[in-house]
Every structure is written in structure tokens, then in C-alpha cells.
Amino acid sequence: MRVADIAPACAEVAAQVSHVKINHDEIPAYARFIVGKYSVTTELEAEHHYVSTDREKTAAYILALNSVNFGSGYFMIAKEAGIELEYDVIARGLKKAFEQDNFVTPQDWTRVTAKDLSELLSISLDRHPHLDELLHNFASHLRATGEKIVSEYGGKVLNLLSACGHSAAALAETVGAWPHFRDVHHYKGRDVPILKRAQILGADMNLALGDLRDVDRLTCFADNMVPHVLRCDGILEYTTDEAIHDGSEKEIELRASAIHVVECMRKALGGGITSVNIDHMLWHRGYDPDIYERKPHRTRSVWY
């Protein structure tokens, strides 16, 4: 599945949605508002992420992080159980492990267990069935990534980047074909690629290492945050008063519509801005108090 297929496929979904309304006329002004309020992200936040002069170790951190960069649909369950669990908690937990030389190589990842990750993230096993499920998924995905790098790239993440020609899009396509990254969904008789984690891997790797090309070919990283922000700001309209199941028609429409809107925003702004830039801006907007206090849709998923 090619990165170039994502935006057209999502535009097709957006043209026939049943559960979402897109207020297209509002998009140009909204795009100008967003870029006027938020700056372009040019590096990973050092407070939460591991970045060092050791390029292999930095690249390994980014790949490990995006192998387990999912679970937002479980975060409210954790909160109700009195457990702090957000993206930043996962990123900082892995950062601490890398600083202590724990789980730092793909060979290490092939042996990781749910118990290892429960200790890393300070989440006790048997605290809640869904959180146990999440920890086991984290371990399974990280093991699968380690096995791929060991078996196909000589145990080195930099070999993966070289094989992809240091292209963010090629990296997303390569990793997006791995079963545990293959975020592609069936909608009304056809496959719709979204590849959230595979694409953000390419963007994050560029932020960390600084030398990946064609990041401008990536779309936004459709999760639950981007459609939530667009809904709060009146660009998307949909209800969130019921469970939205992973892979359901409504969930695919929400994520595809978010990608389509961001592509429309990028076109409205002309050159000099990428969909990745806009995604980062919308992510930061999602943490503004007036947006953050309103609940996004919750779907237990390994794709975001």
C-alpha cells in the first residue's frame, strides 16, 4: 500500500460519509487560524523523548516508541482505575529505559514481556482486564518489530532506514506492510489505508535524526485526537454518545474525514506547509484546556 494512495482513498470516503458531516466552507478560514496560532514543530520534546548523538540508539528509540504508540482508547479506563497513562507516559517510560540501557536493541525487544512493560510503565498486571490486554498488545507489537529488524535488517534500525533510502514515505510504506503496523480498513467494498503509526514513525524519525526526505508526502496521523479537535472547532460534526468500535464504518469515516480535512487545509494554505505540520498543530490544540476537557471518541484499538 502506497502513501500516495491514502489521501485519495480518504477523499472517496469523505464524499460518501453517513455518520459525519464536513463543513467544507469553513476549512480555509480555519486553516489560517490554526497556522496563525501554533508554530511548526521542528524537533521532539526532549522532556519526553530520548534523543542522543548515538544515531542507532536514537533510531531504535523512535521505532520502539512507535511500535507501542497506541492505546488511547484504553487511557480513560486507566484513569478510572487511578492510573496515569497517556502518550507522554509511554514516551517517558521508554526514554528512561533507554537511558538505563534496558530494552535498547531489537534483540532485546524479541524477549520483552507484558510484565516487563508493566514495570516500565508502573502499571500492575491484573489491575484491569483491558489494561492487561493493552500491556500484552504492547509486548506483542514490540517483539514483532524486534523480530523484523533482527531477521531482515541485521539487528540495526539504521539498516532499515538505509534500505528505505532515508525516505519518510518509503519507511512508512515498508513498516506499514508489517502486520502489526498495517492500518488498512475495509469500507464499502474497498480497502482504505490510513497507516497512522507507520506514517508518524517517518515523521518522528525525521524530527529525531533530521535527514529523512519527502516528509511532505505524508498525510496527517489519523487517531481520535484530530477528529476530536475538528469536531470541537466545528469543522466536523458527529455524535460521540455511543461506543465506536474498531474498524466500524463510523470509525473509518471519522479518521478518513480527518485526513481529508487536513489535506484540504494544506491546499487552502498553498505552499510551505505540510500535512505533518498541520497534524502537529492540531495535536497541540487538542491540549488547550477548552478542547482537552471535552472527551474524544474512545475506541480500543492497536492503530492509535
Give the tens place of pLDDT for each residue, 55-69: 999 999 999 999 999
Cα 248 from chain centre: 19
What average pLDDT does the structure give for the chain? 96
Q: What does the DSSP assignment read for 31-63?
A: HHHHHHHSPPP-S--TTTS---S-HHHHHHHHH
- The pLDDT confidence band at residue 240, using thresholds 50, 70 and 90, is confident
What CA–CA distance (Å, rounded) separates 278 from 272?
Answer: 11
**Is residue 255 over pLDDT 90?**
yes
What is d(CA 103, CA 5) in angstroms, rounded to the nearest whole number?
Answer: 35
CA distance 140 to 92: 20
Bridge partners for 193 per DSSP: 184
Residue range 66-80, pLDDT digits in tens:
999 999 999 989 988
Q: Which three cell numbers stand for residue 196?
A: 497512522
Q: Is 154 exposed, middle or buried (0-12, 13-18, 19+ CB in 10 A)?
A: exposed
Over residues 192-236, the pLDDT tens digits come to 999 999 999 999 999 999 989 999 999 999 999 999 999 999 999
pTM comes to 0.96
Contact between 95 and 105 (Cβ < 8 Å): no
Residue 126 has pLDDT above 90, yes or no: no
**Helix or strand (DSSP H, E) at 193:** strand 190-193
- Reported as a single tens digit per residue, the pLDDT across 205-217 is 999 999 899 999 9
Domain residue ranges of the chain, discontinuous segments joined by +:
3-292
pLDDT reading at 89 higher than 90: yes
| Spatial separation of the C-alpha atoms in residues 254 and 208, rounded to whole Å | 29
